[in-house]
Amino acid sequence: MKLTAIDQQASANGKRQGVSDRRSSSGLASDGTISQLFRAYFNNKMTLLIFLIQAKTLKLNSQTVEEISRFLDDIFHHMLIGEAQRQYQEAFEFLKSFFRALPDVSQEQRDLAKEFIRDLYQAVGIDLKADI
Protein backbone atom coordinates (compact mmCIF):
# COMPACT_ATOMS: atom_id res chain seq x y z
CA MET A 1 0.00 0.00 0.00
CA LYS A 2 1.39 3.37 -1.01
CA LEU A 3 1.13 6.21 1.53
CA THR A 4 -0.03 9.61 0.43
CA ALA A 5 1.89 12.74 1.36
CA ILE A 6 -0.58 13.46 4.18
CA ASP A 7 -0.23 9.92 5.54
CA GLN A 8 3.56 10.19 5.40
CA GLN A 9 3.55 13.56 7.17
CA ALA A 10 1.17 12.30 9.88
CA SER A 11 3.33 9.21 10.40
CA ALA A 12 6.47 11.35 10.61
CA ASN A 13 4.82 13.66 13.16
CA GLY A 14 3.38 10.73 15.08
CA LYS A 15 -0.15 12.09 14.55
CA ARG A 16 -3.16 10.67 12.77
CA GLN A 17 -5.51 12.75 10.68
CA GLY A 18 -9.22 12.76 11.54
CA VAL A 19 -10.54 11.21 14.74
CA SER A 20 -7.65 10.85 17.14
CA ASP A 21 -9.03 7.97 19.22
CA ARG A 22 -11.81 5.98 17.64
CA ARG A 23 -12.32 3.88 20.76
CA SER A 24 -13.40 6.86 22.89
CA SER A 25 -16.13 8.11 20.54
CA SER A 26 -18.17 5.78 18.37
CA GLY A 27 -20.32 8.58 16.96
CA LEU A 28 -23.44 6.60 17.86
CA ALA A 29 -26.17 8.04 20.01
CA SER A 30 -27.42 6.27 23.09
CA ASP A 31 -30.48 4.03 22.83
CA GLY A 32 -32.68 6.76 24.33
CA THR A 33 -31.41 9.34 21.87
CA ILE A 34 -31.85 6.95 18.97
CA SER A 35 -35.44 6.38 20.04
CA GLN A 36 -36.06 10.14 20.19
CA LEU A 37 -34.44 10.66 16.81
CA PHE A 38 -36.51 7.89 15.24
CA ARG A 39 -39.72 9.29 16.73
CA ALA A 40 -38.93 12.74 15.34
CA TYR A 41 -38.03 11.32 11.92
CA PHE A 42 -41.16 9.16 11.81
CA ASN A 43 -43.44 11.98 12.97
CA ASN A 44 -41.98 14.41 10.40
CA LYS A 45 -42.47 11.98 7.53
CA MET A 46 -45.93 10.94 8.65
CA THR A 47 -47.03 14.56 9.08
CA LEU A 48 -46.22 15.15 5.42
CA LEU A 49 -48.21 12.06 4.45
CA ILE A 50 -51.18 13.29 6.49
CA PHE A 51 -51.04 16.67 4.74
CA LEU A 52 -50.97 14.91 1.37
CA ILE A 53 -53.96 12.76 2.31
CA GLN A 54 -55.92 15.88 3.19
CA ALA A 55 -54.93 17.84 0.06
CA LYS A 56 -57.83 17.62 -2.37
CA THR A 57 -56.20 18.77 -5.62
CA LEU A 58 -52.49 18.07 -5.25
CA LYS A 59 -50.96 15.83 -7.93
CA LEU A 60 -47.68 14.26 -6.88
CA ASN A 61 -44.78 13.94 -9.28
CA SER A 62 -43.24 10.52 -9.80
CA GLN A 63 -40.13 11.33 -7.72
CA THR A 64 -42.25 12.24 -4.70
CA VAL A 65 -44.31 9.06 -5.07
CA GLU A 66 -41.11 7.01 -5.18
CA GLU A 67 -39.75 8.74 -2.07
CA ILE A 68 -43.00 7.98 -0.22
CA SER A 69 -42.86 4.36 -1.36
CA ARG A 70 -39.24 4.02 -0.21
CA PHE A 71 -40.09 5.49 3.20
CA LEU A 72 -43.03 3.10 3.63
CA ASP A 73 -40.92 0.15 2.43
CA ASP A 74 -38.15 1.07 4.88
CA ILE A 75 -40.59 1.15 7.79
CA PHE A 76 -42.19 -2.12 6.69
CA HIS A 77 -38.94 -4.02 6.14
CA HIS A 78 -36.80 -2.58 8.94
CA MET A 79 -39.19 -1.75 11.77
CA LEU A 80 -41.66 -4.64 11.60
CA ILE A 81 -40.86 -8.32 11.84
CA GLY A 82 -42.73 -11.58 11.40
CA GLU A 83 -46.40 -11.39 12.28
CA ALA A 84 -46.35 -7.59 12.39
CA GLN A 85 -45.38 -7.50 8.71
CA ARG A 86 -48.26 -9.80 7.84
CA GLN A 87 -50.67 -7.83 10.02
CA TYR A 88 -49.85 -4.44 8.46
CA GLN A 89 -49.01 -5.42 4.88
CA GLU A 90 -52.41 -4.30 3.57
CA ALA A 91 -51.95 -0.85 5.13
CA PHE A 92 -48.56 -0.35 3.47
CA GLU A 93 -49.75 -1.57 0.07
CA PHE A 94 -52.90 0.54 0.20
CA LEU A 95 -50.99 3.69 1.15
CA LYS A 96 -48.47 3.25 -1.67
CA SER A 97 -51.32 2.82 -4.16
CA PHE A 98 -53.21 5.72 -2.65
CA PHE A 99 -50.31 8.17 -3.09
CA ARG A 100 -49.76 7.01 -6.68
CA ALA A 101 -53.44 7.75 -7.43
CA LEU A 102 -53.63 11.22 -5.86
CA PRO A 103 -55.65 13.38 -6.39
CA ASP A 104 -58.04 10.94 -8.07
CA VAL A 105 -59.22 9.27 -4.87
CA SER A 106 -62.58 9.22 -3.13
CA GLN A 107 -63.33 10.59 0.32
CA GLU A 108 -63.77 7.00 1.52
CA GLN A 109 -60.26 6.20 0.29
CA ARG A 110 -58.92 9.28 2.10
CA ASP A 111 -60.64 8.13 5.29
CA LEU A 112 -59.18 4.65 4.90
CA ALA A 113 -55.72 6.13 4.32
CA LYS A 114 -56.08 8.06 7.60
CA GLU A 115 -57.04 4.84 9.38
CA PHE A 116 -53.98 3.11 7.96
CA ILE A 117 -51.79 6.03 9.10
CA ARG A 118 -53.15 5.50 12.62
CA ASP A 119 -52.35 1.80 12.26
CA LEU A 120 -48.75 2.55 11.26
CA TYR A 121 -48.28 4.70 14.34
CA GLN A 122 -49.57 1.81 16.42
CA ALA A 123 -47.32 -0.66 14.57
CA VAL A 124 -44.15 1.22 15.50
CA GLY A 125 -45.33 1.97 19.03
CA ILE A 126 -45.76 5.73 18.75
CA ASP A 127 -48.86 7.54 19.97
CA LEU A 128 -50.60 9.67 17.35
CA LYS A 129 -51.51 12.67 19.45
CA ALA A 130 -53.67 14.50 16.91
CA ASP A 131 -57.00 13.48 15.50
CA ILE A 132 -56.63 13.17 11.74
Q: Once rounded to an integer, what is the mean pLDDT over residues 1-12? A: 52
Is residue 32 included in any domain, yes or no? Answer: no
Is residue 80 included in any domain, yes or no? Answer: yes
Report how many domains make up the chain. Answer: 1
The rounded distance, in Å, linking the Cα atoms of 94 and 4 is: 54
Is residue 87 included in any domain, yes or no? Answer: yes
Is residue 115 included in any domain, yes or no? Answer: yes
Residue 54 has pLDDT above 60, yes or no: yes
Is residue 65 included in any domain, yes or no? Answer: yes
What global pTM score does this model have?
0.74
Q: What is the band of 130 on the pLDDT scale with cuts at 50, 70, 90?
A: confident
Handedness of CA 61, 108, 118, 128 (dihedral sign): positive
